[in-house]
Structure 1
Amino acid sequence: MTEKAVVIYSGGMDSFTILNKAKQEGYELYALTFDYGQKHKKEIEYASRVCAELGIDHRIIDITAINQLLQSSSLTSEKDIPEGHYADDNMKSTMVPNRNMILLSLAIGYAVDIGASKVFYGAHSGDHAIYPDCRPEFVEAMNAVSQIANYEPIEIVTPYLKGDKISILADGLAMGLDYGKSWTCYNGREKACGKCGSCDERLEAFRLNNAKDPLAYETDV
């Protein structure tokens, strides 16, 4: 019997890589995309298209009610989204309080419900500086909890926890993935802005892999 796994799939390049990696490894995948009140739905649209194309069971979960509790983040409020690199202090405003613990808890519950043994998500070392819920100690603690929170132990899998965006992209390019099917920009306009932290990190990864990003950008990149 094929092993079932849940993937927290935002539609961004990290989770896009993980989704495809897990599929190629032979898992029967169940993708979860969460609408938690982020400023745009562009990533969700990309996630839907990819899952339909790959024939992956996909659920978009509306948890927008929690948005009223998470107004300190620039991703879920009227605050301006900062520009620059993730190493900059101003990028801390993109931290959504407790986001990954919330999403992982829901994904673990879903995994138990459908008889899956694993939950995949895209934490990586490039996020460690400003996102505590992407750091190894958080993943280890959540993994320990997920072993005892239900009758069925669930493993949280983070294939790129010790890697960065550059190595994630290198892995995906080696798999032949088309990153034009992923959306990373914090702004949900027709083209990616090329200026926000997410675009900056994505473009850096393409440069350092000597590859061209297939997405269209508002700026000359």
Structure 2
Amino acid sequence: MKQANEQVCNNHVSSAGEAAWNADSHSQAHAGRKQGKAVVVFSGGQDSTTCLFWALQRFEEVETITFDYGQRHKSELEHAKAIAGKLGVPHRILDMSLLNQLAPNALTRDDIAIEQEEGELPSTFVEGRNLLFFSFAAVYAKQIGARHIVTGVCETDFSGYPDCRDVFVKSLNVTLNLAMDYGFVLHTPLMWLDKADTWRLADELGAFDFVRTETVTCYNGLPGDGCGECPSCKLRKAGLERYLMERKQEEGASR
């Protein structure tokens, strides 16, 4: 059933979403020329900050939007605001506390442990989060005349989250365009990158040190390298170590 649904969705995307994907391809083909206005779905973490630097190189105007959904790592809100300020990017925080009432989970409740049972979604999965975030980002984007929405979701390191899959993003892109009669393009620069690749991209964007020291990826809200113990910190650290090893090997080979 799951494969059948994804096939139907992919078929629908190939027709109804053709214009959006062609626009995205056109944008990539003309990477040297900046496009219009973009909104970055922004948490102040490694992935979304890398995407912010990516967007700043590609779009004439960039704004960021952050969601306060009662997350236990509240410090990400302040770091997101600070990062946007340092980069001179307009920043807005939207109250999404209702999400915590509807879908309590380990990211919003201290009394729920961060864990994952085999074959089950992690306790950090927030039901409907990206569906709501991207939808509200689209509403905001249309109000300010932006057609591009950038998000750091990734299918390679997505921990089983269904709302980080490429097929979900593509299907939602089509749905948003139909629902709002607008030509949105949802960009996912990290979709097929693992954490080592994401560090590489940050380095290529000239943002490696900034991303490493200024962002908050830790589920416990600690900046930089974080607590080193939560799943998010472990994933970030493993990717960093692998990228640094690869970079060292590449530098040695080029001498």
* Equivalent runs, 1:66-81 vs 2, <5 Å: 66-71=99-104, 73-77=105-109, 78-81=111-114
Equivalent position to 1:116, from 130, 146, 167: 146
Whether contact under 8 Å (1:127, 1:134) holds in the other structure is no
1:163 aligned partner: 193
Q: Decide whether aligned partners of structure 1 residues 194 and 90 sit closer, same or farther in structure 2, where only a CA change above 3 A counts.
A: farther
User: Offset at 1:40?
Assistant: 2.3
2:177 aligned partner: 147
User: Offset at 1:79?
Assistant: 0.3
Equivalent position to 1:53, from 67, 75, 86: 86
Q: What are the ranges of 5 or more consecutive residues in structure 1 without an aligned counterpart?
A: 212-221
Q: Which amino acid aligns with 1:192?
A: G
Return the index of the structure with the highest Cα Rg: 2
Determine if the alignment matches structure 1 residue 173 to structure 2 residue 221. Answer: no
Instruction: Give the secondary structure class of the aligned counterpart of 1:149.
Output: helix
- Structure (1 or 2) with the greater helix fraction: 2
Percent identical across equivalent pairs? Answer: 37
User: Offset at 1:187?
Assistant: 0.4
Distance 2:55 2:161 in 1: 24
TM-score normalised to the size of structure 1? 0.87
Aligned length: 207
2:134 aligned partner: 104
Whether contact under 8 Å (1:127, 1:135) holds in the other structure is no
Q: Which runs of 4+ in 1 moved over 2 A?
A: 86-91, 125-129, 188-191
Determine if the alignment matches structure 1 residue 64 to structure 2 residue 94. Answer: no
* Equivalent runs, 1:1-221 vs 2, <5 Å: 3-71=36-104, 73-77=105-109, 78-82=111-115, 92-177=122-207, 178-179=210-211, 180-189=213-222, 192-210=226-244
User: Offset at 1:34?
Assistant: 0.4
User: Offset at 1:88?
Assistant: 6.5
Distance 1:189 1:14 in 2: 16
Instruction: Give the secondary structure class of the aligned counterpart of 1:60.
Output: strand
User: Offset at 1:68?
Assistant: 0.9
User: Offset at 1:27?
Assistant: 3.2
User: Offset at 1:160?
Assistant: 1.5
TM-score normalised to the size of structure 2? 0.76
Whether contact under 8 Å (1:34, 1:103) holds in the other structure is yes
